Amino acid sequence: MTAPTAAPTEAARDFSDHKGIWVYVQHRAGVAAPVAWQLLGVGRTMAQQVGVPVAAVVLGSNVKHLCDEAIANGADTVYYIDDPVLNDYRTQPYAYGMASLIRKYKPEVVLYGSTIHGRDVAGAVATMVKTGLAADATQLEIEEEGHLLHASRPDFGGKLMSTILCKRHRPQMATCRPGVFPTPDPDPARKGEVISESLGLTEDDVLTRVLEFIPETRHVDLSNAEIIVSGGRGLGGPKSFDILYDLAEAVSGVVGASRAAVMAGWIPYQHQIGQTGQTVRPRIYIACGISGAIQHLVGMQESDIIIAINSDPEAPILKMADYGIVGDMFQIVPALTRRLKERLAATGGPVGDAPTVVFVDEAEGEQEEQAG
């Protein structure tokens, strides 16, 4: 994961007073977003490479347990601000707290998830501390010399990668895609230090109030799915997605979609996988009636096993699939579901389980490859 040293273009500044890699712990009501731990994982790998500590930043009200979780997930230090003003996430007090911690403790790198929440806070913090913010990184590398962060992401519709550097300012900040970096195995026995700070704002200083949170009725948790059954324009209409839901149910999976299917209004946007949708890395990805445009591939190419069913033998998805089936999904998928149900009924498998079951895979062997 170490990057080659870039050619020196400017007189190097002395940043020796900035130390450590920080991860912002996004949470709602004390439940951390998975991306926080994913970033602690990659942050720790980089920190070990260059011999600096990795820290988590937890802001909230009565969320001490998140400090413990952060330590279990790899943080050496947790900077913690506990204040009733931080009960709901709001840009202003969160960005203020984050910026004060950054000014006081001077990290060299700060990572956020490129979620709605992460982008919301990071954009404000970057402006407050006047530093660079790379957006939506999918690869992170750090130079041993000077600890320059290389934050790369797909660009130009996913055809190319761009690498962003922040040479003259510290900290170097980036928002990073959820689901790209593997979640570390937490170790509850790990020890770490919690440093508490106060916020220094009162409720009267804050210009917004959260009135209500309305959870999505049907939560589509693609990023944690073990198996994804995905459909595209080849399905021809919304009704055909029932065929995929049947298979997904039989394998305890979740249904995904290409943008073409989403744009056609056959399935809601939350199901979209790809450059402008979600990035997923399930154990098994089954693509039905999806051609495999680059913008789709960037969102699922890290899946362990890719199965593609497509009637066109020239479809690009077949070229990258582990198992490519040239044929008609309208015939093959129902036949597969039927057989699967028969087989699993015979062996007492999890047929008909709620599709939200999440299995934690121990085999995270792709870490190296992932992070480049």
Partner 1 sequence: MHAVVSIKQVPDTAEVRIDPRTNTMIRSGVPSIVNPEDVHAIEEAVRLKEQFGGKVTIVTMGPSQAVAAIREAISLGADEGVLCGDRGFAGSDTLATSYVVWKALERLNREEPVDIMLCGRQALDGDTGQVPPGVATRMGWPQLTSVLKIEEIDFVKRFVVVQRMVEGGTERVRAQLPAVLTCTRDLNAPRYSTFPNMVRAARYQPQAWDKVALGIADDDPNIGLRGSPTIVSKVWAPAPRQRTNQQRIDGSDPERAAEELLNVLLEHGVGKRPSTSTAVGVSR
Ligand X SMILES: Cc1cc2nc3c(=O)[nH]c(=O)nc-3n(C[C@H](O)[C@H](O)[C@H](O)COP(=O)(O)OP(=O)(O)OC[C@H]3O[C@@H](n4cnc5c(N)ncnc54)[C@H](O)[C@@H]3O)c2cc1C
Site for partner 1 in 296-315 (CB under 8 A): 301-302, 305-307, 309, 311
Site for partner 1 in 149-168 (CB under 8 A): 150, 154-157, 159-168
3-state secondary structure at position 294:
helix
In the structure encoding, which two tokens stand for residue 141, read together?
Answer: 């590398």
CB-based contact 285:258 (threshold 8 Å): no
Q: How far is CA 158 from CA 145, 302, 369, in A?
A: 30, 14, 19
Question: Using CB distances below 5 to 8 A depending on partner kind, what does residue 191 bind out of partner 1, ligand X, none?
Answer: none
Closest distance of CB 123 from ligand X, Å: 21
Report the alpha-carbon distance of residue 70 to residue 86 in Å, rounded. Answer: 18
Find the binder of ligand X among 276, 334, 344, 372 (CB under 6 A).
276
Question: Using CB distances below 5 to 8 A depending on partner kind, what does residue 290 bind out of partner 1, ligand X, none?
Answer: ligand X
Report the alpha-carbon distance of residue 347 to residue 360 in Å, rounded. Answer: 22
Report the alpha-carbon distance of residue 287 to residue 234 in Å, rounded. Answer: 10
Report the alpha-carbon distance of residue 162 to residue 149 in Å, rounded. Answer: 13
Query: Which region, judged by CB under 6 A, interacts with ligand X, from 6-14, 147-155, 210-218, 255-263?
Result: 255-263
Query: Which region, judged by CB under 8 A, interacts with partner 1, from 20-28, 50-58, 75-83, 191-199?
Result: 20-28
In the structure encoding, which two tokens stand for residue 158, read together?
Answer: 């996913």
Angle at 116 between CA 115 and CA 117, to 5 degrees: 90
x/- track of binding to partner 1 for residues 215-254 (CB under 8 A) = xx--x-x--x--x-----------------------x---
Is residue 329 near ligand X by the rule CB under 6 A? yes
How many residues lie near partner 1 (CB under 8 A)? 107
Cα 266 to chain centroid, rounded = 25
Find the binder of partner 1 among 87, 201, 283, 367 (CB under 8 A).
283
Find the binder of partner 1 among 236, 327, 352, 365 (CB under 8 A).
327
Bond preceding residue 171 cis, omega within 30 of 0: yes
Tell me which residues touch ligand X (CB under 6 A): 157, 232-234, 258-261, 272-277, 289-291, 293, 295-296, 299, 309-312, 315, 328-330
